[in-house]
Structure 1
């Protein structure tokens, strides 16, 4: 629930970690951080992917069709840069399908090894 004084919501993962500490004693402490920077643009999103490490990412792309209809598509991006460790690439590649199945509503999948493979032109082209 959002705090009525600040409008800040508590992320479900924060609640889950707290319950693990409380019930299972999985942790001795937890440090929470309010992320003041909200990523808004595609450029912010793309810049957040590390140059040398694999990641899975989800991007909600809003666009207008030729018929002037507002639409949106949710992209799943498997980011696996050439410079990342081979073991990491193998782990992400072998786990991708199972991870993606847990995310109900993914509409488009992209695999990218460098930023050019997930450029805005490619995103636009795959959305149509």
Structure 2
């Protein structure tokens, strides 16, 4: 928590709703307007990967926990939580620094395969799947 920004209970609850209850396909988090805590930006029940990719703002950082469906090396259906750290290159430097320094605090409360993305190309389905496959057994 190097930035001093706290992860709210609402964030932890939303994470559990994706991980344990599968109530949402993904949840998006952001720094609150007063810059004191990480809060839930939105919860999405159903979404394609393409819609998820397109949902990130082009000029603001976000985090998201996504219930990623894929086939393992044996062709079996699997799913894994990923934690996307979205920070486009054109984000203002203060917001970039706040996002970066707050990511560890969020990552401790919301576990998932970390995916860093600065543009939509870095959220390529096959590349994300390959990263998951390289970290899974």
With the length of structure 1 as denominator, give the TM-score of the two structures.
Answer: 0.65
Moved over 3 A (4+): none
Q: Corresponding residue for 1:83?
A: 90
Distance 1:75 1:38 in 2: 16
Larger relative contact order (C-alpha < 8 A, sep ≥ 6)?
2
Q: 1:66 Cα deviation (Å)?
A: 3.0
After superposition, give the CA deviation of every residue in 1:65-94 in whole Å (9 maximum; x if it has no partner). Answer: 232322111110110001111110000000
Distance 2:73 2:102 in 1: 37
Q: 1:38 Cα deviation (Å)?
A: 4.4
Q: For the pair shown, which has the larger CA radius of gyration, 1 or 2?
A: 1
Distance 2:121 2:108 in 1: 26
Query: Are 2:92 and 1:74 equivalent residues in the alignment?
Result: no
SS, match of residue 81 in structure 2: strand
Distance 2:86 2:45 in 1: 21
The structure whose residues are more often strand, as a share, is 2
Q: Corresponding residue for 1:50?
A: 57
After superposition, give the CA deviation of every residue in 1:12-50 in whole Å (9 maximum; x if it has no partner). Answer: 95xxxxxxxxxxxxxxxxxxxxx9x74420111111100
